[in-house]
Structure 1
Amino acid sequence: MLSNNTKSRTMEYKETQLSNDAMLDLYRSMLKPRMIEEKMLILLRQGKISKWFSGIGQEAISVGVTKSLETEEYILPMHRNLGVFTSREIPLNRLFAQWQGKASGFTKGRDRSFHFGTQEYNIVGMISHLGPQLGVADGIALAHKLKNEKKLTAVFSGEGGTSEGDFHEALNIASVWDLPVLFCIENNGYGLSTPTVEQYRCKDLADRGAGYGMESHIIDGNNILEVYTKISEIAESIRKEPRPVLVEFKTFRMRGHEEASGTKYVPQELMDEWQQKDPVLNFEEYLIAKNILTNDLKEKFRTEILAEIDKNLQLAFSEDIIVSDATKELDDVYENFEYQEIKPKENTEYIRFIDAISQALKESVKKHENLVLMGQDIADYGGVFKITEGFVEEFGKDRIRNTPICESAIVGAAMGLSINGMKAMVEMQFSDFVSSGFNPIVNYLAKVKYRWDQNADVVLRMPCGGGVGAGPFHSQTNEAWFTKVPGLKVIYPAFPYDAKGLLNTAFNDPNPVLFFEHKGLYRSIRQEVPVDYYTLPFGKASLLREGEEISIISYGAGVHWAIDVLEEMSYIKADLIDLRSLQPLDMESICKSVTKTGKCIILTEDSQFGSFASEVAAQISESCFESLDAPVIRVGSMDTPIPFAKNLEKQYLPQERFKEKLKNLIEY
């Protein structure tokens, strides 16, 4: 509870040009989250909320930063930034419902505490992995810059989060691209129980700004007047001269990381020292001494806030608990997408797979004026495969953007572009490198629609595959990493015609799409492809050959290997299905074929154990068991990393094993 003991408070406030009303507003705005927190701590002990991350003692930062920004400027807060939400005047009943897992909250009971965002209030909440939101802020700010909007984006991190790679990646991107981002570090002394002396060795975290050519400041995070006036000045400067600024707020965490953690690891003298720097009580004392705040007005504020808290708590408590509805849950994993078929015209040209990809990219950039392409070396150089060669001359460097080597923050930036009303493509130079951006893909892009109804309008292009002697780090086909993640779509074409039509659809789809392109097919496969723009639907397999004895199922390069083997064997009794789309998967076509033939073999280039072929085989066994005349056969690569030497790679890849197993299945 707020204490009236002001005996030894020592905070100094400099005179400002703020009116009395403005200072009273700052005081009331800090008092409100403090009183809410005090109530929440009581409810936590009563078991009426499940968890609480306290920001007591840090209110001046959240309130001061939020009040310094315009309401349409995005803020990306963290656990201890309740003052951001209350200063943006989010109805308390919705906040309380959120913390109780009620339907009128912001995540329909699917996530807790401050793990949510809201476009209505221009707030983008955190995920537990902390770092990705810094890259998201870059993307939001980039969208403002591309739209010539004089706005900035503020994003928060604790001092512990500055050790994550995402922090350094995001600062580097913001610096290189001159993005209007205000990076706010709340240095509150401890990352859970680990003190700052065990987290970093620089004197001040603000010093890290110099390494990125970035302006930086240190601010007393408990002094509301210093926070508000200094951040207001910085924010106005950023609007006039877009650039990133790093601010370190010196403060302290007066309670545990979360309430169950406690504070036994904190020396008592340190707690006592910071207790005397309480931002609410110090400012209250200052205002009383200046005859700006009276005891009667103070009590009036407290009475009004308490009444607001109690009223909205009753609204949240009276709301029914959420009733589980499987249909609703499944429907909210993906943003609704109404596919529009655009049929190709008659004019065609005989082009390579790589040309089809390039054409789709160019046509989609023309079609979607808000689409930004990002990737390493994709601008002037045209990408390592020259797919975007000439794009800069046609579309400019704003939309065709070279990126630093920082996959994680670039995926985050793509997410931020989507939040701010744009579309984004990220080219993973090789699909192997996606591991460096894995976290934001599977934990942010994939979950954001389900969590708080925000879609991720992002296409990730994934040049993949072996057979070209590229070794363990440039040859993987890692689609199985993503097909099991709800919220992602995974496309893997085998022919130029399909590649162009499906990639066009990927850019129309508002969901995150991983688009796998086998680089071994780039220049080896040609086909007649329509010259003009057209689309193809996701979730529809292609029946390339028809037979009555065996169903062969594959995708990517495996389709061509299957064709080669069938021609070599002169075998004409097989259905050959090219899946094209892995997620969504066309199980209807698969089951129709297997029910007809009674035998099935699935070919994948991926190592066999745990591959996507294993999932397809399992579904066939469950759905078509009574039609099977033989075991469902999987054929994949060896369960080793991909070797470099030609003979080793040949042994690794599944072509020879496929031929042998196909013969065995025919004879079964």
Structure 2
Amino acid sequence: METLTQRHIDYDRSKFSDSELVDIYKRILKPRLIEEKMLILLRQGKISKWFSGWGQEAISVGTTLAMEKDEVILPMHRNLGVFTTRDIPLERLFAQFQGKMTGFTKGRDRSFHFGTMDYNIVGMISHLGPQLGIADGIALSSLLKNEKKATLVFSGDGGASEGDFHEALNVAAVWQLPTIFTIENNEWGLSTPSNEQFRFKQFIDKGIGYGMDAYQIDGNNILEVITSVQQIAESIRERPRPFLLECLTFRMRGHEEASGTKYYPEGIQDEWNKKDPVVNYELFLKEEGLLTDEMIAKFSKEIKAEIQNGLDVAGAEPKIVPDTEIEIKDLFKEHNQVVVAPESQNKSEKRLVDAVSDGLRQSMERYPELVLMGQDIGDYGGVFKVTEGFVEQFGKDRVRNTPLCESAIIGAGLGLSIAGMKAMVEMQFSDFVTVGFNQIVNNLAKLHWRWGQNADVVVRMPTGAGVAAGPFHSQSTEAWFFHTPGLKIVYPAFPGDAKGLLAAAIEDPNPVLFFEHKFLYRSLKEEIYDDYYTTEIGKAAVLKEGNDVTIVTYGLGVHWALETLENDTSISADLIDLRTLAPLDMETVIESVKKTGKVIVLHEDVEIGGIGAEIVTQINEACFEYLDAPVRRVASLNTPIPFDADLEKNFLANARFETVLKELLAY
């Protein structure tokens, strides 16, 4: 620490005892001393990267001291003080930095990209903004349970430019969630100054637009931080509502150490060094007669010894020995599905849309912790009327209309899951999931693998063509997610499967994307069980058996294949309805191909990069010596989906399926 002889911060100690003031000093000193050590280790190559919070410690330490220990904090990568103030053992923290097994991510992620509910901390991802939506979900859980708890989430001034920031604050305001949105305004986003990030004068001006309280404080004044957050948290516990807290500070070092600070104007660091939150507070305590040089030396020695001990323990731990089986196993929370049979044999004829509604309603009855969220799903019942009547039965707390903000709502679903609840998020059309894509592929999919926290979220996706809805309401989007490890993907073709698989998806504590074909919603009926039941996820169905060819398909493709086989009864085929796309039931497919020797894969999605390509590859690898003909693949045209009905018909794969099938049979 550089020497300052004159204090540049004024403190109000009226709410603090002498012992509290001294304890606060030890708390703010600790992350500073850790950082001094980390910078040395970085130069020695013992850690790979470091994001500095030097000069911003008062915010991390102060907010954490102000919150209750069982309240969740969602920090960013400059918030070392959150982790130390929550008393995470340093040996585990340092093991995390060094990529050791006793770190929180088993070497799979670095620095502060982790969470731990043992300490009520939910860690960030590099995309920054998604944290805010998750905070909404955690706060919503507290609200629904009447726990009278606040949730605090951090954003930097740069990250506040992201759409997630707007979405999350808007949702919190609409739903009156007890969330403290804490903006560390350190004036720079990597090398970009604030005047190139935004045009408004200060972040608290945004509070008016969102309809929420907003307050600005000196983020380097640790007593002001503590007092302010205590007051805000106490207020919103009793009267839940969101709060925007802007903390003025400065980033003394680079965005990360490798980037440096050459872009800073001359003298700006010297000016902000005068407001160093550690040194100024130290000078204040000396003036108050509460701190001496001897005490400082003693505290520093004790903390440095704790740091060194933590480093010794972490450093002595061996390097991780990769175990492929464990890497794959940790993708999902363990869930051994036990298929639930219906209590009676009573059946009713239902359309696919009715079956989805039935499965969802009975799951709501079975799981009181399940919350449904989506655009227009409340009183209106959703655009496809899946949730019609749900508000009357379950109430608006559990059947929640949302603003148009897919990212924040998927994030809120994850927040509910982290808080021990279940969430179902409806995309009005699967096409709209693009604006929530990040939450799915980087949060839902990776969370359990990264730090052992499962994502108990189902995302329902009305999908597909055949209804002349054009290129933004008709896409097949399943392949976008099929490539991402950590997601389960379900795609039923019949009402009975839709009900049982949706119930199973909601039961599963892992993230499931559930595709429902819009064309099939009201175009077919089936006698299905009235009672609650589940169907096995990951198991294909053999709909027809034959000897000449294997047809592998899913969704609307199943009905195209059925129509073809009904029109030509001379074709002897195994017809396999995959039902689940991830995990794929290749065992059933391979067994059939070995019997028939010929196989055709059919799907509605476009050909290039479609799921069929993976199925074809696995068939070739497993069944090459059994094949009597090349594996064929039929898919829709490699263009966007047109609106005109005739153009759409030409686009879709079924226009070519029968021709290719007969070519294969004649090979």
Q: TM-score, normalised by structure 2?
A: 0.99
For residue 571 of structure 1, report the CA deviation from its aligned partner.
Answer: 3.1
Q: Could you tell me how far apart the structure 2 residues matched to 1:374 and 1:368 are?
A: 15
User: Could you give the per-residue CA deviations for residues 509-559 of structure 1, whole angstroms, max 9, x where no partner exists?
Assistant: 000000000010000110110010111111111000010010001100100
Q: Match of 1:134?
A: 132
Residue 12 (structure 1) shift:
1.5
| Map of 1:454 onto structure 2 | 453
Q: Partners of 2:230 and 2:312 in 1: how far apart?
A: 36
Aligned to 2:256: 258
Tell me the equivalent position of 1:510: 509
1:587 aligns with 2:583: no
Whether 1:52 aligns to 2:53 is: no
The Cα offsets for residues 445-482 of structure 1, whole Å up to 9 and x where unpaired, read as: 00000000000000000000101000001001110001
Question: Contact 2:489 / 2:513 at 8 angstroms: preserved in 1?
Answer: yes
Asked if 1:230 corresponds to 2:228, the answer is yes
Counterpart in the other structure of 1:420? 419
**Residue type matched to 2:564 in 1?**
V
Deviation track 1:626-646 (CA, whole Å, cap 9, x = no partner) reads: 111111111000000000001
The 1-side partners of 2:644 and 2:523 are apart by: 21
Any stretches of 5+ residues in structure 1 without a counterpart?
A: none
Q: Measure how far apart 1:7 and its partner are.
A: 3.1
For 2:209, which of 201, 211, 215 is the aligned residue?
211
Code of the residue aligned with 1:83 in structure 2: it is G
Give the counterpart of 1:315 among 307, 313, 316: 313
Matched residue type, 1:505:
A
TM alignment of 1:546-557, pairs within 5 A: 546-557=545-556
**TM-score w.r.t. structure 1 length?**
0.99
Residues of 1 paired with 2:489 and 2:615: CA distance?
A: 14
Q: Which runs of 4+ in 1 moved over 3 A?
A: none
- Report the equivalent of 2:621: 622
- The separation in 1 between residues aligned to 2:228 and 2:433, in whole angstroms, is 40
Instruction: Check conservation: 2:7, 2:284, Cα contact below 8 A.
Output: no
The residue type paired with residue 441 of structure 2 is: V
Q: Helix, strand or coil for the counterpart of 1:624?
A: helix
Cα deviation for residue 269 of structure 1 reads 1.3
Letter in 1 for 2:117: Q
Residues 191-590 of structure 1: matches in 2 within 5 Å? Answer: 191-344=189-342, 345-590=344-589
Give the counterpart letter for 1:177 in structure 2. W
Distance 1:57 1:407 in 2: 36
* 1:658 match: 657
Q: Can you list the C-alpha shifts for 1:116-162, whole angstroms capped at 9, x where unaligned?
A: 00010000010000010100000000001101100010000100001
Query: What percent identity do the matched residue pairs reach?
Result: 62
Partner of 1:183: helix, strand, or coil? strand
User: What residue identity is the alignment partner of 1:450?
Assistant: W
| Structure 2 counterpart SS, 1:173 | helix
User: 2: distance between equivalents of 1:282 and 1:121?
Assistant: 29
Shift of 1:595: 0.4
- Greater Cα shift, 563-572 or 462-471: 563-572
Matched residue of 1:268: which SS? coil
**1:427–1:571 CA distance, 2 compared to 1 (3 A):** farther
SS at match of 1:506: helix
1:41 aligned partner: 39
1:27 corresponds to which residue?
25
Structure 1 residues 146-185: aligned runs within 5 Å: 146-185=144-183
What are the ranges of 5 or more consecutive residues in structure 2 without an aligned counterpart?
A: none
Tell me how far apart the structure 2 counterparts of residues 354 and 268 of structure 1 sit (CA, whole Å).
65
What secondary structure, in the 3-state scheme, does the structure 2 residue paired with 1:552 have?
A: strand
Q: Deviations over 1:584-617 (max 9, x none)?
A: 1111100000000000001100011110111111
In structure 2, the residue matched to 1:109 is 107
Match in the other structure for 2:69 = 71
The residue identity in structure 2 corresponding to 1:503 is L
Q: CA RMSD in A?
A: 0.7
Residue by residue over 1:321-366, the C-alpha shift from the partner in whole angstroms, topping out at 9 and shown as x without a partner, is 1110011111000111110111133111111111100000000000
Separation of aligned partners in 2, 1:565 and 1:6: 84
- Provide the C-alpha distance between the structure 2 equivalents of 1:469 and 1:419, rounded to a whole number of angstroms: 40
User: Do the aligned partners of 2:352 and 2:495 also contact (CA within 8 Å) in 1?
Assistant: yes
Q: Distance in 1 between matches of 2:389 and 2:658?
A: 42
In 2, the alpha carbon distance for the partners of 1:370 and 1:416 equals: 13
Deviations 1:355-392 (A, max 9, x none): 10000000000000100000000000000000100000
Match of 1:16 in 2: 14
- Cα separation, 1, equivalents of 2:16 and 2:590: 72
User: How far did 1:238 drift?
Assistant: 1.0
The one-letter code sitting in structure 1 at the alignment partner of 2:581 is L
Measured in 2, the distance between the counterparts of 1:25 and 1:632 equals 71
Aligned equivalents of 2:233 and 2:460: distance in 1?
Answer: 36
2 CA distance for matches of 1:22 and 1:656? 76
SS at match of 1:98: helix
The 3-state SS of whatever aligns with 1:520 is: helix
Q: Shift of residue 9 of structure 1?
A: 3.5
Matched with 2:188 is 190
One-letter code aligned to 1:138 = D
Q: How many angstroms apart in 2 are the aligned matches of 1:592 and 1:330? A: 24
SS at match of 2:327: helix
Deviations, residues 550-572 of structure 1 (Å, cap 9, x unaligned): 00011001000111111112234
Find out whether 1:645 has 2:652 as its counterpart: no
1:8 is displaced (CA, Å) by: 4.1
Instruction: Identify the range of structure 1 (296-305 vs 507-516) with the bigger mean alpha-carbon deviation.
Output: 296-305
Number of matched residues?
A: 666
Contact 2:219–2:247 (Cα < 8 Å) also in 1? yes
Shift of 1:99: 0.2
In the alignment, the residues of structure 2 paired with residue 337 and residue 483 of structure 1 have an alpha-carbon distance, to the nearest angstrom, of: 20
Counterparts of 1:35 and 1:183 in 2: how far apart (Å)? 28
3-state SS, counterpart of residue 118 of structure 2: helix
2: CA distance between counterparts of 1:464 and 1:426?
A: 15
- C-alpha displacement at 1:189, in angstroms? 1.2
Alignment partners' CA distance in 2, 1:202 and 1:42: 39
Q: Secondary structure at the match of 2:520?
A: coil
Distance 1:233 1:656 in 2: 66
Give deviations 1:249-270, integer Å, cap 9, x for gaps.
0000000000000001001311
Shift of 1:300: 1.2
Q: CA deviation at 1:281?
A: 0.2
Give 1:79-118 correspondences, 5 Å limit: 79-118=77-116
Shift of 1:15: 4.0
Amino acid at match of 2:41: L
Deviation string for 1:417-466 (max 9, x for gaps)? Answer: 00000000000000000001000100000000000000000000000010
Counterpart CA distance in 1 for 2:570 and 2:190 is: 65
